[in-house]
Structure formats: C-alpha cells, structure tokens
C-alpha cells in the first residue's frame, strides 16, 4: 500500500466530507423555517407588479430582492416584453403561473396584441414556472438546447416537488416543467413583427444554457442572470470562470440599457456588469487561495474581508453559500 497519498487526494476527500456535512445540514428539519400552510399564504398581499418602460417598444417588471415564498408568489426575478407589429415577445416567464397571468394583464394595458413568443434566458425556477400560462395562450417558447439536460434531471423534478410545498399555493400539483418549442444550439436571430432579436448563448456561466437577448435597433440587452444589479448574485453550481469571460461578451454589445435578471434597469452597462464580475473574481481569488493552501472552508470564510459586498441586499442569505460552492469549484480546478 502507498502511504504517501497525493495532495489532490486530500483535497478531494475534504471536498466530499464538506459536501456531505452541508447536505446533512440542509436535509435536517428546521422547525422555524417550515412554510406556512397554503391557506395562510393564499390571503397574503400580492407584491406590486407594474410594467416600466425600457425603450420605445420594450417594458419590464422588476421582482423583489428576496427569497421566493408563498407570500411573494415567487416574484423574485425580472421579466420583459417587446411589442412588435404582429405580437408580443416576452423574455422570461417569472416564477409561477399566477405571476405569468399578472404579467399578461400588464401587457394588455400596453397592447391588445397576443404574446407570440417567450424567450427563456435560463431554466431556473424563478424564471420558468410561469411558462405553462404562456403556452396555454399559444406562445412559442425558445431556449438554448443545453437546458434539456436539466429538464430531464432528478434535480429539476425534486426542485419542483420542494417548490410545491415551499411556494404553495402558487406552485402546486398542476404546475409543470415546460420544454421549449424551438431549441437553439448557437447564436441565432429572430425577426418578429419587423423587430430583430439577436440571441447569444453565454453559458456555461450562471447555468449551462445561459442566453442573452439583444435588440440592436434600440440598443437594449436582456442579460438574464448574468447580471444581478444592486444585489448579491446567486452563484449556485455556476462555472464562475466562464461567467467572468461571458461578462466581457456582454460589454462588447453597443448597449444603452441592460435589463438584468434581478434588480433595477441599468443605464451604466460597464459599471453594473463589473459589479457582478468583481464579486465573482473576489470569490474565486479568496476561495481559490484557501483551496490551494488546503485551508478549511470555515477558517477561510471567517478570515476573508467581505466589506466591499456586505452592504448589498441578500448578502447574509447568499454569500456564505456562494463562497462555499466556489471553494468546492476551486478545489476541482486546482492542479
């Protein structure tokens, strides 16, 4: 037997041990966090949804800077729509069928034209649980083919099962995952009602299927969750290295306004894109050094100076998880 085990072996072993510990913690019941029963949430005051104008033909609705819950109907992400001569193109479908219905009501305040297309920037729950409402109205759904792996995974099924409990009554046994009608594999263009939409894949970044939508005639970029404005991004299992490179792709567009996946509109494309980029770079630098030195995560997290980001909304909710996932990512990337 070889007793001189490699450095990479110990990295992998510690990674597995930490992952198991976190999994156990999240699996354990926490009574204080048990969601309210559906009837309690059913009477909750619905969060405001008001379509705000982005450009001559585009509008968006802004989700709350919060975690999804029954009380807020999972209204925690943005969605947008563009009015063309022949119909309306929606970008992302929000986090529940009820929210999608409310978005359609906002659209009807602007135009009587039907929603003909929904372009999905990525298949995270807060952006896609409303798809079935648009599908029922005859809209054609467009997304990147890389989402198929997630749609057919146990992860997607289990996430929906959990959402039916945590987001009741807005997510229930009638809520389903809806695949695209048109899957794209690379850069694509759609011209709808005389309006040109450029679809640019930018994954794997926040997700493998990340897609941004650019309207060149009005210089509007719908960035999905590549850009989180005025709040901490959700990193999850993201490929943060490629995400950073993809943000440079976004800066190459001649953009007057960015509609982010979360947060208010951005009229300062470089500044707001760089906020997300700088946070990701800092995570990779700090956690990468800890992984290289084989410093235990807990010790590394406590020793890291988070001053530059701790004032941002959702820092206390998301930062620790982001740092931990980045720590594991840097373990895997280490030689």
pTM recorded for the entire structure: 0.84
Residue 158 has pLDDT above 50, yes or no: yes
- Could you report the per-residue pLDDT of 175-189, keeping only the tens digit for each? 999 999 999 999 999
With b for 16 or more beta-carbon neighbours within 10 A and e for fewer, the 184-197 pattern comes to beeeeebebbebeb
3-state secondary structure of 9: helix
3-state secondary structure of 135: helix
Question: How far is Cα 265 from Cα 251, in angstroms, rounded to an integer?
Answer: 16
- Average pLDDT for the chain: 87
Provide the CB-side half-sphere exposure for 298 (13 A, CA).
Answer: 5
- Could you report the per-residue pLDDT of 316-330, keeping only the tens digit for each? 999 999 999 999 999
- Fold for 9-333, please state it: Metallo-beta-lactamase; Chain A (3.60.15)
């Amino acid at each position: 037997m070889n007793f001189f085990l490699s450095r990479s072996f110990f990295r992998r072993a510690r990674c597995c041990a930490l992952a198991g510990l976190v999994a156990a913690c999240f699996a354990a019941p926490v009574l204080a966090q048990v969601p309210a029963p559906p009837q309690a949430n059913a009477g909750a005051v619905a969060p405001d949804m008001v379509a705000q104008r982005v450009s001559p033909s585009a509008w968006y609705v802004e989700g709350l800077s919060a975690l999804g819950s029954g009380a807020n109907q999972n209204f925690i992400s943005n969605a947008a729509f563009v009015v063309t001569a022949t119909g309306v193109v929606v970008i992302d479908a929000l986090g529940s069928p009820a929210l999608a219905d409310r978005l359609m009501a906002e659209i009807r305040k602007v135009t009587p034209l039907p929603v003909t297309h929904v372009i999905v920037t990525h298949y995270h729950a807060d952006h896609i649980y409303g798809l079935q409402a648009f599908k029922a109205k005859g809209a054609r759904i467009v997304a990147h083919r890389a989402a198929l792996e997630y749609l057919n995974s146990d992860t997607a099924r289990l996430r929906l099962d959990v959402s039916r409990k945590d987001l009741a009554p807005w997510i229930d046994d009638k809520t389903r995952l809806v695949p695209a009608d048109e899957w794209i594999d690379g850069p694509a263009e759609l011209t709808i009602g005389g309006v040109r939409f450029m679809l640019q894949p930018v994954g794997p970044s926040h997700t493998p299927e990340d897609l941004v939508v650019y309207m060149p005639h009005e210089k509007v970029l719908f960035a999905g969750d590549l850009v989180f404005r005025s709040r901490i991004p959700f990193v999850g299992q993201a490929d943060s290295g490629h995400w950073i490179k993809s943000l440079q792709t976004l800066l190459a567009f001649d953009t007057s306004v960015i509609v982010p996946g979360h947060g208010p509109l951005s009229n300062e494309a470089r500044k707001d894109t760089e906020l997300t980029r700088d946070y990701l770079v800092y995570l990779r630098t700090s956690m990468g050094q800890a992984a290289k030195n084989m410093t235990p995560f807990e010790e590394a997290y406590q020793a890291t100076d988070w001053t530059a980001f701790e004032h941002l909304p959702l820092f206390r909710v998301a930062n620790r998880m982001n740092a931990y996932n980045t720590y594991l990512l840097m373990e895997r990337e280490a030689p």
